[in-house]
A and B are shown apart, each in its own frame.
Chain A
């Protein structure tokens, strides 16, 4: 697929290259024209679709796509950030362990996520032992290299939960414990679809999560809620093609599931990974930060892995830890609305003023997958028209007043 690779002066490894196959601007323009044709005739009433993945928002912002979406398309960022939906009491548990001298290992993005009053970064600044790892395998390596007890604070959707499961099934060192805050995506789509005031007409599902679960996992949902679901990847053309197909299904009134990411996703998913996932974890109801209690939305260790469960090993300590007074500002935070697609970051009075990546109030400002963080990272307003062009309406629905 590489064409017209005209080497620039100087040539060499860094010469101006042909676009990668899924990053071809010419094809992107064709999809945008298609999207415009398919949405244009509903003037004043844009087609509203939601993606449920921070990586989709990240790619949309990174490639500046909001500046070229047609006016007839409203793209809402949904609850797609695993770091953001990790509930404050879950962070409190990790903070409590770290403060009591337990070595806590976790992903880089979890460091600054606020708990009820404090983050792991706050605890670390005061001497608690918090270490960053790339994943559970590295946590197991660290545990193997020492004699003391080590806790892996495990966060993320089914994509990272399978990695945790795989490590636990390989009989890691006995001093490795897991504090699971893993979440499972399909149930929360039900919650969002049923929220009063929601205008979402179709969902763009995350390709990497679907690579595990398979696209069929969304079929009962599409049928029950009469809304189409399109599984899409993360390159600009994946996203544009996904929206183009989703809008077509919306306009035709066809609530089907379609897989536009067949190079990674099958209908049945990764069976080996799913088997490992459900061997180690079971779904249980629990709170997602700012959104709601989500039935079957939390992944907790099964009885057979009780010996690895930090919640059992330190049961008394953790019960105590959950009695924490709430921090100032937290009550004004609109993370919940942002994650449920009921408001845009710019609707929040704290956004960019009190709440910044360095001093986040809500989790949406912490993670590189969080909508507030992504918008802040790209200048606070992702819809950047060329100078002189009129600014389009803010992409969030701002439905709540």
Chain B
């Protein structure tokens, strides 16, 4: 370990390899030791699996349990705010495990001294509206206030529980399976970046933040057992989600770059900033692995839902390049890398 790793850097929360390594080597260490407390088994999908949430078997069903913290600068951005983000983020983590019937959510709020009450009320109104939209009631919470400068504005911490008869994991891919994304990529990341760095993108780029329970329910109903893996491409974007799915499943993924759904405004912002939409966060999309026979049914179901109109098949699983993602650019092919750190605007 180099000297610089003695301290936690921003990259340890960026959703890429550095974060996975921190979680694996520290937070999930105990549960990964053979015979360790909380180790994964037939009745438990726990920390060791590093999936979107935990699965605890209850009779013939699974209780899915997930937790999430949200800080975003700025708290209000085109297309959403931190309140909608918190509810949707937790609902989506549950949905990615196949659990679309939410029993309840918790929402704890930590506020910086001096935070405007008016902003807090707007955030709470957004939490309530998103909770109703997702049919995911907030059933418990907590409130703390910290001194000025001890926190940057506001932090929301949520948890959620839901039941499902079938657990969908992120490691079920086999060679030949198709990769589907449920809509345009990069919208959330560029909306926030544009606002944070004052890029003047205006309303052309809006966050996609949305609860996906309903969309995932439709996908599961249409594809059934053919839907074999799912992940929401948040921090680190589609690139990190696919690397994780490919690595855990023991396959490679070949992506068709020309098939990626990307809005024109996002594409333009990406070219301008030298950032790849594949590496930028989404908050209302799912990456789905599906057996070949179920692809058409899945796409038809997604296209019939307001949040899945731009769904597209973007890639295929192969037995080569295990754990990697190969990008067919239309000109040649290259490896797709994960971003691992602060997204910095570049010089030229």
Point out residues on A near B: beta carbons under 8 Å.
Answer: 8-10, 12-14, 16, 19, 23, 25, 28, 55, 58, 61-68, 82-83, 107-111, 125, 132, 134, 155-156, 159-160, 208, 236, 354, 357-359, 367-369, 376-382, 384, 386-388
Contact = CB atoms under 8 A, between A and B. Distances in A.
B337 interface: yes
Given A13-B263, A62-B329, A359-B4, A378 B344 contact: no
A14 B346 contact: no
Contacts, number: 126
Contacts of B11: 358
Contacts of A111: 344
B347 A64 contact: no
A10 B333 contact: no
Interface of B: 2, 4, 7, 9, 11, 18, 183-184, 258-259, 261-264, 274, 299, 303, 309-312, 318, 320-321, 324, 326-337, 340-341, 344-348
Contact of B334 (A13, A64, A357): A64
B345 A134 contact: yes
A173 B90 CA distance: 49
16 contacts: A9-B312, A10-B303, A14-B261, A19-B330, A63-B329, A64-B332, A64-B333, A109-B347, A110-B347, A357-B340, A358-B18, A359-B4, A378-B335, A379-B324, A384-B333, A384-B335
A322 to B, nearest CB: 24
A155 B347 CA distance: 9
A9 B299 contact: yes
B302 to A, nearest CB: 9
Contacts of A108: 344-347
Contacts of A156: 347-348
Contacts of A388: 320
Nearest to B11: A358
A66 B348 contact: no
A155 B320 CA distance: 42
A134 B11 CA distance: 22
Given A10-B312, A63-B334, A109-B344, 4 more contacts: A14-B263, A62-B329, A62-B334, A159-B348
B347 A367 contact: yes
Contact of A160 (B318, B328, B330, B347): B347
A382 B183 CA distance: 29
Rank and list the top 6 A-B pairs by shortest CB-CB distance, nearest first. Answer: A379-B335, A64-B332, A108-B344, A387-B320, A64-B334, A67-B332
B340 A358 contact: yes
A109 B342 CA distance: 11
A14 B310 contact: yes
A159 B346 CA distance: 14
B215 to A, nearest CB: 13
Given A8-B312, A10-B311, A379-B324, A64 B261 contact: no
A382 B334 CA distance: 6
Given A9-B299, A16-B259, A387-B318, A25 B348 contact: no
B149 to A, nearest CB: 15
A358 B299 contact: no
Contacts of B329: 62-64
Given A357-B341, A379-B337, A208 B348 contact: yes
